[in-house]
Amino acid sequence: MRQRLAPGELLALALILLPLAVALPRLWSGYTGGWAGGLALAGRICGILGLAMMLVAAALSVRLPALDTGFGGLPRLWRLHRRLGFGAFMLILLHVLLLAFAALPHSLAMAVALLFPPPADWLTWTGWLALLALVIFLAPTFQFFGPIRYQSWKRLHLLSVPTLALALAHTLPPLASPWPWWLLAALAALALLWRKGLSPRLARRPYRVTEVRSLAPDVVELALSPERRPLRHRAGQFVYLSPLDDGLTAGRGEEHPYTLSSAPGAPALKLGIKALGDASRALQSVALGSRVLLEGPYGAFFEQAAPGRKQLWLGGGIGITPFVSAARELAADPGKEEEVVLCYLANRPERAYYLEELAGIAARHPALRLVPHYFSEQGPLELGFLAQQCPDFRERELLICGPPPMIHHLLRLLAGAGVPRAHIHTEAFDFL
């Protein structure tokens, strides 16, 4: 069973279909019949939908706190953004090919001339330039030329601005009813203006590093104190952190997402950070007292679960951090009665970073039960273990956070056990 569309996803779909709905009467009146006419009609529809998806994808890059909750959280919104980009790319390719094949019944020369007209036909050439720019800035996202590099991805995404401008120049003049395009273009322009121009100055809040606590050789928990008005967050949310420590070997000034491990309302924000790349590895030795900038909070992890139902939490690796935040919140609320089972999936005991603290919370709070599971001793999690430790897991809301391979294994396991997909909620930061 697939997840239901969130309200924001339904709105995005409506915005994508709006230009086509307005243009369809004109397109239909120009339909000439036959298979060539059908290909030409399909090609124009693909072009309209492709450009609309590009503009909506750009509008979704706005990244405003709280807006992402309408999309089921920022990771889910980013996945939608990425799928729209890829869908737009495929539709635009189809737009070109279908129009060329529609001209073939007349002659091959006409088909070639349609694709590659004289230089004076600048409208067609702006379309080719837009497609070229689209290929260049999407290449890192879809790993066309190898593994993704964060810095390249950030820089090349700036090409989205001329890409959209060229695509609009290619599309707008022939349209009889351009107002939907102006609406989508305005939304995309405002989003890009905020994301690239205003948010670095207006949305980021300064904090100071007050503690760097080592949890493992490659994992630290940072404690941060606000210089001015602090962020307010819920359990399971995350922030984008930009460190300003001059002594960092990598990542200075770059923004990266990290989950908050502190309880909501705690005097200091805490972030669990594992060395997974150059920037996060450098943060393992960030200087005390150095400044960082935070943007957020984002995410709606626990809000995805149906209220009033028992929950099973499955956390592994640094994906345990949202559950640490929730457990710390639970420790401050002795009156909470809904039973929660936390299954901590670690490779081995020494890699269970917060185990001692979580065990202490579970010992003091009857609503939390902690179940460690170690891959080195027990192998991958199996249904027998899950059924033994949490017999009613099929009737619970299941929240999963961890590395993508762990999540994929658990999704297959739970699907085979008949757990409804609507009861399973996941979080993984693999959405670049």
Instruction: Decide: residue 296, CB within 10 A, 0-12 exposed, 13-18 middle, 19+ buried.
Output: buried
pLDDT digit string, tens, across residues 186-212: 999 999 899 888 888 888 999 999 999
pLDDT digit string, tens, across residues 285-296: 999 999 999 998
pLDDT digit string, tens, across residues 32-72: 778 888 898 999 999 999 999 999 999 998 888 888 888 88
Long-range residue pairs from 412-415, CB within 8 A, at least 24 positions apart, any chain: 413/381, 413/382, 413/383, 413/386
Q: Which residues pair with 369 in a beta bridge?
A: 341
Given a contact cutoff of 8 angstroms between Cβ atoms, the answer to whether 113 and 106 are in contact is: no
Comparing C-alpha atoms, which of 191, 197, 212, 219 is closest to residue 292?
Answer: 212
DSSP secondary structure letter of residue 198: I
Least confident interval from 108-122, 353-367, 379-393: 108-122
Higher pLDDT, 381 or 150: 381
Percent residues over pLDDT 90 in the chain: 50
Question: Is pLDDT at 431 greater than 50 in this prediction?
Answer: no
Q: Residue 424 and residue 411: Cα distance in Å, rounded?
A: 8
Q: In whole numbers, what is the pLDDT of the chain averaged over residues?
A: 87
Q: Residue 425 and residue 326: Cα distance in Å, rounded?
A: 15
pLDDT of residue 143: 60
Give me the phi and psi of 20, to 5 degrees please. Answer: -65, -40
Tokens, residue 223: 């404690």
Question: Is pLDDT at 1 greater than 50 in this prediction?
Answer: no
pLDDT of residue 147: 61
